[in-house]
């Protein structure tokens, strides 16, 4: 299984904090958010990782090194646009898509076990998506791919896209 980490955004809501660094390279507990995501993927046996970059891409590459491939977007393509642009790398197997500004305690192995073939599994709390999806290989060949919520008990997650949410994650 492969994983795409979405890390192209500018992080403007974080103001001065992201003036000279991409949002996913902010540290929480001594590690960057991106490194935490990559470590969690490795923990669950996922080593084929690509990170989309736009804002200050060399900093992302410096922080992650050869633990991932990098896809530079001259113009940001968004969630669906990035997936489409990476079709040739992603197709052929189910794949994770993870927001590069989201930390979670999600067990990717369990999420894979609960993933229903031919659907998009979305990690959710009680009422909203938590920045992690599993897309089916059929995504590129079928017009009808349903979305199925995956709600594990006790999952903790943080979207650090705003100052108050970053502070909660750091606590």
* Over residues 153-161, mean pLDDT: 92
Given a cut of 90, whether residue 161 has pLDDT beyond it is no
Given a cut of 90, whether residue 73 has pLDDT beyond it is yes
Q: What is the pLDDT of residue 57?
A: 96
Question: Quick one: CA dihedral 55, 57, 59, 60, positive or negative?
Answer: positive
* Over residues 89-109, mean pLDDT: 96
Given a cut of 90, whether residue 105 has pLDDT beyond it is yes
- Rounded distance, CA 9 to CA 52, Å? 9
Provide the percentage of residues in the chain whose pLDDT is more than 90: 91
**3-class DSSP state of 132:** strand
* Over residues 45-74, mean pLDDT: 97
- Rounded distance, CA 158 to CA 33, Å? 10
Q: How would you class 69 by CB atoms within 10 Å of its CB: exposed for 0-12, middle for 13-18, buried for 19 or more? A: middle
**CB contact burial 96-113 (16+ within 10 A = b; e otherwise):** bbbbbbbbbebebeebbe
**3-class DSSP state of 46:** coil
Backbone torsions φ then ψ of 59, nearest 5 degrees: -70, -40
Contact between residue 101 and residue 9 where contact means Cβ atoms under 8 Å apart: yes
pTM of the predicted model over 0.85: yes
* Over residues 47-57, mean pLDDT: 97
Q: Which residues, 6+ apart, have CB-to-CB distance to 147 below 8 Å?
A: 119, 120, 122
| Residue 126 pLDDT class (50, 70, 90 cuts) | confident
45 torsion bin: left (phi>0), alpha (psi -120 to 50), beta (else):
left
Q: Which residue has the higher pLDDT, 12 or 7?
A: 7
């Amino acid at each position: 299984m492969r994983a795409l980490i979405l890390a192209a955004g500018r992080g403007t809501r974080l103001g001065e904090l992201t003036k000279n660094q991409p949002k996913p390279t902010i540290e929480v507990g001594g590690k960057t958010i991106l490194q935490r995501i990559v470590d969690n993927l490795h923990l669950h046996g996922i080593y084929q990782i690509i990170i989309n970059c736009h804002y200050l891409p060399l900093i992302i590459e410096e922080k992650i090194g050869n633990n991932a491939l990098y896809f530079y977007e001259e113009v940001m393509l968004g969630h669906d646009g990035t997936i489409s642009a990476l079709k040739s790398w992603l197709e052929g197997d189910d794949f994770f898509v993870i927001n590069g500004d989201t930390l979670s305690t999600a067990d990717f192995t369990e999420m894979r076990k609960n993933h229903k073939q031919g659907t998009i599994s979305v990690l959710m709390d009680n009422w909203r998506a938590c920045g992690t999806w599993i897309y089916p290989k059929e995504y590129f060949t079928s017009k009808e791919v349903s979305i199925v919520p995956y709600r594990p008990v006790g999952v903790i997650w943080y979207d650090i896209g705003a100052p108050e949410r970053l502070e909660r994650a750091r606590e």
